[in-house]
Amino acid sequence: MSITRDQAVAMDVDDRLAPLREQFVLPEGVIYLDGNSLGALPKTTASRVQSVIANEWGQDLIASWNSAGWIDLPRRTGDQIARLIGARAGEVVVADSTSVNLFKVLSAAVRITKARDPERTVIVSERSNFPTDLYIAQALAEQYGYHLRLVEKEEIVDAINPQLAVLLLTHVNYRTGAMHDMAALSAKAHAGGALIVWDLAHSAGAVPLHVHADDADFVIGCGYKYLNGGPGAPAFVWAHPRWVDRFQQPLSGWMGHAVPFAFETGYLPASGIARYLCGTPAVIAMAALACGVDSVLAAEPYGGMAALRAKSLALTRLFADRVSTFAAEFDLAIVSPMDDALRGSQVSLACEAGGYAIVQALIARGVIGDFRAGDALQSADILRFGFTPLYTRFVDAWDAAWHLHEVLRSGIWRDACYAERHAVT
């Protein structure tokens, strides 16, 4: 029994998290289901950034490094993010991009395992991991004379063997929305003598995370997806306290130095997570990111990440349930796991043909999802719909499924105008 639109509207009326949507600028007539790629704009961001530019930069100039606390932004924003991932204050910093932070933590993890067990020379990741993670891991493996082995999800546990140095996993898969059990896999990696690095790009701000309780070794994550930090927002990094001081990370820039303003000739890494900083923080971008993270922390009085998670699961379930009423007729397959414990905050649909055009036709109707092409190994095209519980309503999920049905039923997506490719998909 699939729910009616009236029932979806009633769910919004009953939704205690509904007021959180008011925090965002959302264009009229748009159902935004791409917050997993670029989070929506918080209403506070423009005036905050404007004030950083006009007052702090414009009036106070260089004094703002101290007077406005610019120099502490990587740590202050890191402390905010720590609350979302189960880390403690002082354990997270914001810096650089996810790709760059992955290079830092993977290098540290490789050097730790190399020192204690040089026979272990394999890094394992998933073939379906986000490509930048694989590219970074490839380059790093080459640099150390290691081997990067790519496996399917079902093969991960068997790949934990005496050759494994580091297991690199993305917690929620960007294509399918499938979520790993962080505690179970971390325990298995450790029992097998390896370290584990988790990429939280599609998790932070979307699902509750417990990096301590789940015993991760290193985590990195993205600022511009569910954290709503704005395009190209800086990323974050956490290292377990047992490792954080063990090795200096390879990008030994001055902001990670123990005393950057002593201008010493030799590098001495800061103690703690500050050593994962490299160069001067992007102050304007970090001001925007802080607003984005605040928009997620605003859920704390309503039950925080646990409440957001419950809503996210209800949203994705509703959408998948509606789509399942017509999926077979149009050769669509729901590829995201329908078991709540195994699903992140998105629903991905596989289709044999026309995926790009279908998404373009949806966008023309105001339903913004995105498209990920299949390749030789993952043959089906994927239509992705991300459900950010902070600002997505139940009626949006219902309407999005209705629009998808309309696009497919009418065949409008076959119109040539929807086939034209843009640079960013």
What are 25's strand-pairing partners? 41
Out of 75, 104, 175, 225, which one is annotated catalytic? Answer: 225
Q: Is 99 in the site for ligand PLP (CB under 6 A)?
A: yes
Minimum distance of ligand PLP from residue 170's CB (angstroms): 4
Among 23, 45, 98, 360, binds ligand PLP (CB under 6 A): 98
Per the annotation, the verdict on 247 as an active-site residue is no
Q: Is residue 222 a contact residue for ligand PLP (CB under 6 A)?
A: yes
Our answer to whether residue 114 is catalytic in this structure is: no
- Asked whether 126 and 134 are in contact (CB, 8 A), the reply is no
In the β-sheet with 346-351, what is the strand arrangement from edge to edge? 332-334, 346-351, 381-386, 370-372
State the minimum distance, in angstroms, from the CB of residue 199 to ligand PLP.
5
**Ramachandran angles phi, psi of 137, nearest 5°:** -65, -40
| Minimum distance from residue 234 beta carbon to ligand PLP (Å) | 9
**Two tokens at 276?**
């994962």
Per CB under 6 A, the segment of 125-133, 158-166, 239-247, 262-270 that binds ligand PLP is: 125-133
Given the structure tokens 């309309």, which residue do they identify? 406
97 binds ligand PLP (CB under 6 A): yes
**What binding mask, one character per residue, do residues 128-147 give for ligand PLP by CB under 6 A, x or -?**
--x-xx--------------
- Spell out a b/e string for 104-143, using b for 16 or more CB atoms within 10 Å of the CB, else e: bbbbbbbbbbbeeeeebbbbbbbebbbeebbebbeebbee
Between 96 and 399, whose beta carbon lies closer to ligand PLP?
96
| Size of residue set near ligand PLP by CB under 6 A | 13
| H-only helix segments in 117-180 | 131-144
Residues 192-221, one symbol each (x = binds ligand PLP by CB under 6 A, - = not), give: -------x-xx-------------------
By the rule CB under 6 A, 418 interacts with ligand PLP = no
Q: Which is nearer to ligand PLP, 11 or 290 (CB)?
A: 290
Rounded-to-integer distance, Cα 215 and Cα 185, Å? 10
Neighbours of 188 (CB within 10 A): 16
370 binds ligand PLP (CB under 6 A): no
The answer to whether residue 225 is catalytic is: yes
Question: Looking only at residues 229 through 258 of this chain, which bind ligand PLP when binding is defined by CB under 6 A?
Answer: 235
Task: Please say if 261 is a catalytic residue.
Answer: no
Closest CA to 283 of 243, 233, 324, 247: 233
**Which is catalytic among the residues 24, 32, 103, 130?**
130
Q: Which of 384, 385, 387, 394 is catalytic?
A: 384
- Give me the phi and psi of 386, to 5 degrees please: -95, 140
| Amino acid found at 38 | L
Distance CA 297, CA 17 (A): 12
Taking each helix axis from N to C end, the angle separating 5-14 and 394-410, rounded to the nearest 10 degrees, works out to: 160
List of residues 6+ apart from 161 with CB closer than 8 A: 192
How many residues are present in the chain?
425
Q: Annotated catalytic, 199?
A: yes
Distance between CA atoms of 169 and 215, rounded to whole angstroms?
Answer: 14
Residue 44 in contact with ligand PLP, rule: CB under 6 A: no
Catalytic member of 224, 276, 371, 418: 224
Residues of this chain that bind ligand PLP (CB under 6 A): 97-99, 130, 132-133, 170, 174, 199, 201-202, 222, 235
Catalytic residues: 130, 199, 224-225, 384
